[in-house]
Amino acid sequence: MSQPDVNFVRGLRETGMLSDSECTMIGEKRELTDEESNIDQKKVLDELLGNGRLTPFQAEEIEAGRGHLLRFGNYLLLSRLGEGAMGTVYKALHLRMQRVVALKTLKPETSKPAFIERFYREVRAAARLNHPHAVAAYDADECESGHYLVMEYVDGKDLSAIVKRDGPMSVSEAVSAIRQAAEALAYAHRFGIIHRDIKPANLMRDAHGNVKVADLGLARLSNDHTIAETDERAELTQSGSIMGTIDYMAPEQAIDAARVDARADIYSLGCTLYFLLTGRAVYEHDSLMARLVAHRDASIPSLRDRVPDVPEELDQLFCQMLAKTPEDRCACMEDVAAALKAFSATDPVAESLNLRAQTVFVIEPSRFQSRILQSFLQDIGVDDIHLFRSVHETIAEIGAMRPDLVVTSLQLPDGTGIEFLQRLRDDLRWSLMPVLLLTSIPLPPEQLQFIRNTRAVALLEKPFSQEQFTQAVQGTISESRNQSPSVAGLDQLRVLIVDDSSVARRRIEATLAELGFARFSQAENGKIAADILQQRTFELIVTDYNMPEMNGYELVAWTRRESPLPHVPIIMCTTEYDPEKLGEVYQLGVSAICNKSFEQDLVRNIVIRLFK
């Protein structure tokens, strides 16, 4: 008699999908024959597959007796993504954080001490990089199964696979992808990191169009000639890898890869642009040597010959990127990224919003992340950008500067983005101020429902591309502006304006009239207003604070406690800035407080909140 394969049981236990008692129960079934035991194992796997407790890849590995190899430290392998020069790449799950990642294992041939030392040195350099268009390096370690690298998982495909599946890209689509890659490479170059293996297969794009550069800081390890390749199959694999890279390799890199600078990446990115637009390599020859020679000596083909709708200026940029000598290429990757922005299609929505005239507050505790957001805003034409690190700093300035948009992270040192949004919406002055919330964690249902029910608010999940950010900014501002400037029936509502200045009363009346109000009464002070309120009914009171014979505080107190209209909306329009005095007025139940300028946009927000 035989018991189930010990590796089968161990594999189930290692995955964590079954409890120890369940695994023990399976292992104790000793009365089965080998055939019956195998059938039983298959039933167990089928059941686990059916209820989603195992992936097909995990079931296959367990059935083959390799289930115990599914664990790499705190990571559980979910599926195989592909094979690289250094090893195999898997989709994996961090068991405690429940975060899906990409895990790259190192081949046994790479176990030489010199290579391992260099591997961890390169990983440390790559871990310093944090850019929205670069695949992040999270972790590197060693376990029973060997050395491994943990990276950000991009739920999408590489650009090579996309072009092979869908055909060549449009000009705007290709330019967008190359520009995003150029921004990430420009950032890496500032740290002295050269990619050396830019090609479509190393540019990942998710379902939202966000492009990320893979293997940034690690690519040269893949081409390390110290990796021993002994058997014939390995040699063929390595040759195939080199053949694929040659199509995008700068001429000087073929001579001495160790001495190239950032301009080699510019050349490779230009070759990648050509492939995205044409679906073909720049130079197509049968042999590796012929391609190498062509990159060194052959004339640069015209993009317009292949794709007639390519702008002449883009064709010129492409030719400059593919100059045979580094000195004749673009000076740096920043220049490439800046040049590519000029070919972005003009957005009529952005033009209508006049973003250049907008004031934007950014609340982000990370200086690095706030600089990225500032760069994104500048790219779409916003010039007046103010950076804050906390809710307290922002609230202190929001009344004086009145931003047109607030972009805020969800996690802040003195609260959350949701709490900040709630504070804005509770104040009628800012009830329609556009807010863009940025989050990297899932929100609970009640918070999502609050956002859906709140006007002029958008939620954008990290990571996001420049295009996604731009669309979110435009959509949030547009929604705010599309709010009706008046509310139906305002012309039937009676308004009492109380101020000791006749000029101020006329200004307030004119502003309210532009919003649709038509029935006004005026009073010079609180005492006269109280007399009027005892005789007539009003749907809105607008009052000053500092007045003789009954100030605004006393008028609000009398209205709430003694008048026949205790629930009438009251807007206090004042130059009083003493927080204690204004706080007391709020406690009495004033509906909103605004300054004496009584600006129409601000008043409109208050009116819409009160009467819509």
Structure-token match 């989603």, residue found:
52
131 phi and psi angles, rounded to 5 deg? -140, 140
CA distances from 559 to 78, 145, 255, 494, 550 (A): 67, 77, 87, 16, 12
Q: Give the model's pLDDT for residue 30.
A: 37
Q: Which residue has the higher pLDDT, 341 or 572?
A: 572
Residue 529 in this model has a pLDDT that exceeds 50: yes
When pLDDT is averaged across residues 554-569 and rounded to a whole number, the result is: 93
pLDDT digits (tens, 9 = 90+) for 148-159: 889 889 888 999
Rounded percentage of the chain residues whose pLDDT exceeds 70:
82
End-to-end Cα spacing for the chain: 80
Q: Is 608 or 24 the better-scoring residue by pLDDT?
A: 608
Q: Specify the pLDDT at position 16.
A: 62
Instruction: Look at residue 141 and tell me whether its pLDDT is greater than 90.
Output: no
Question: If pLDDT is split at 50, 70 and 90, which confidence band does 533 have?
Answer: very high
Q: Which of 144, 92, 149 is closest to 119 using CA atoms? A: 149
* Mean pLDDT computed over 322-327: 96
Pick the CATH number of 156-341 from 2.60.120.1440, 1.10.510.10, 3.40.50.10440, 1.20.1250.20: 1.10.510.10
Residues 325-370: tens digit of each pLDDT: 999 999 999 999 989 987 765 444 455 556 666 889 999 998 888 8
User: Is 347 assigned a catalytic role?
Assistant: no
Residue 238 has pLDDT above 50, yes or no: no
The DSSP code for 536 is: S
Of all residues in the chain, the percent with pLDDT exceeding 90 is: 33
The yes-or-no verdict on residue 112 having pLDDT over 60 is yes
Is the pLDDT at 224 greater than 50? The verdict is: no
Question: Taking residues 487-512, what's their average pLDDT?
Answer: 89
As a whole number, mean pLDDT of residues 64-86 equals 84
Flag whether pLDDT at 498 surpasses 80. yes
Residue 182 in this model has a pLDDT that exceeds 80:
yes
Listed by start position, the domains of the chain span 6-70, 156-341, 348-481, 490-611
In sequence order, what are the residues at sequence separation of 6 or more whose Cβ sits closer than 8 angstroms to the Cβ of residue 38?
none
Would you state the pLDDT for residue 39?
A: 44
Fold of 348-481: Rossmann fold (3.40.50)
Top-confidence residue, 358 or 509: 509
Assess whether pLDDT exceeds 70 at residue 226.
Answer: no
pLDDT over 90 at 520, yes or no? yes
The residue type found at 117 is E
Average per-residue pLDDT for the chain: 81
Residues 545/572, Cβ–Cβ less than 8 Å: yes
For residue 222, is pLDDT > 60? no
CB atoms under 10 Å from CB of 415, counted, come to 15
Give the Cα separation of 358 and 405 in Å (integer): 8
Strands, E assignment, 294-365 = 359-363
d(CA 338, CA 330): 11
Give the pLDDT of residue 5.
Answer: 55
Q: pLDDT band for 298, please (50, 70, 90 cuts).
A: very high
Q: Is the pLDDT of residue 454 over 60?
A: yes
Res 407: pLDDT: 95
Task: Kindly name the residue from 197, 247, 499, 544 that is annotated as catalytic.
Answer: 197
Picking from 289, 302, 215, 295, the residue whose alpha carbon sits closest to that of residue 250 is 295
The whole-number average pLDDT for the span 507-531 is 91
CATH number for 490-611 (one of 3.40.50.300, 3.30.470.10, 3.10.310.30, 3.40.50.2300): it is: 3.40.50.2300
Band (pLDDT 50/70/90 cuts) for residue 306 is very high
Task: Give residue-wise pLDDT tens across range 9-55.
Answer: 666 666 666 666 666 665 554 344 444 444 467 777 787 787 777 88
Q: What is the mean pLDDT of residues 154-182?
A: 92
With bands split at pLDDT 50, 70 and 90, how would you rate the model's confidence at 494?
very high
Of 325, 331, 337, nearest to 185 by C-alpha is 337
Instruction: State which amino acid sits at residue 142.
Output: E
Q: 409 pairs with which residues across the strands?
A: 438
| In the predicted structure, residue 418 carries a pLDDT above the cut 80 | yes
Please give the pLDDT value at position 316.
95
Residues 63, 48: contact at Cβ < 8 Å? no
At 435 the three-state DSSP class reads strand
Residues 6+ apart with CB under 8 A from 19: none
* pLDDT class of 173 with cuts at 50, 70, 90: confident
Helices 466-481 and 171-190 sit at what angle, rounded to 10 degrees? 110
Determine the Cα–Cα distance for residues 76 and 94; give it in Å rounded to an integer.
Answer: 7
Helices (H) and strands (E) in the chain, counts: 26, 21
pLDDT value for 23: 63
> What is the pLDDT averaged over residues 211-220?
76
Least confident of 124-138, 381-395, 504-518: 124-138
More confident residue, 192 or 406: 406
> Which pLDDT band holds residue 231 (cuts at 50, 70, 90)?
very low
Cβ atoms of 508 and 598 within 8 Å: the answer is: yes
Same fold, 156-341 and 490-611: no
Residue pair 58/15 in contact (Cβ under 8 Å)? The answer is: yes
Q: What is the pLDDT of residue 281?
A: 95
